[in-house]
Amino acid sequence: MSVADNIKKKLTEALAPSRLDLRDESHLHAGHAGARPEGESHFRLLVVSDAFKNRGKIERQRMIYQILGDLMTTDIHALSIKALTPDEENSAST
């Protein structure tokens, strides 16, 4: 299973998101420290879930780090996170 597929699987199982967009941006970091030659080391994530209700930005990020567990220390070098509730996503798009 690819790193991206593993990320999506873990987050989907834990958060039941209404939206999950994961973009591999490893090509932008080729040659930098932490960049793997095969890619899949730098990601940008947008996840929308009711699980984030009544939780601040830092707590939401910690939830995601906990869900991803060992991937954060073995396969993922950098992860940019935008974690929203459905209400926040809807108000941002209006």
- Summarize pLDDT for 26-85 with one digit per residue, the tens: 866 565 665 555 667 889 999 999 999 999 999 999 999 999 999 999 888 889 999 999
Closest CA to 61 of 11, 1, 24: 11
CA 42 – CA 22 distance, rounded (Å): 10
CA 85 – CA 48 distance, rounded (Å): 5
What pTM did the predictor assign? Answer: 0.85
CATH class name, domain 3-92: alpha beta
Helices (H), 2-85: 3-15, 57-68, 71-74
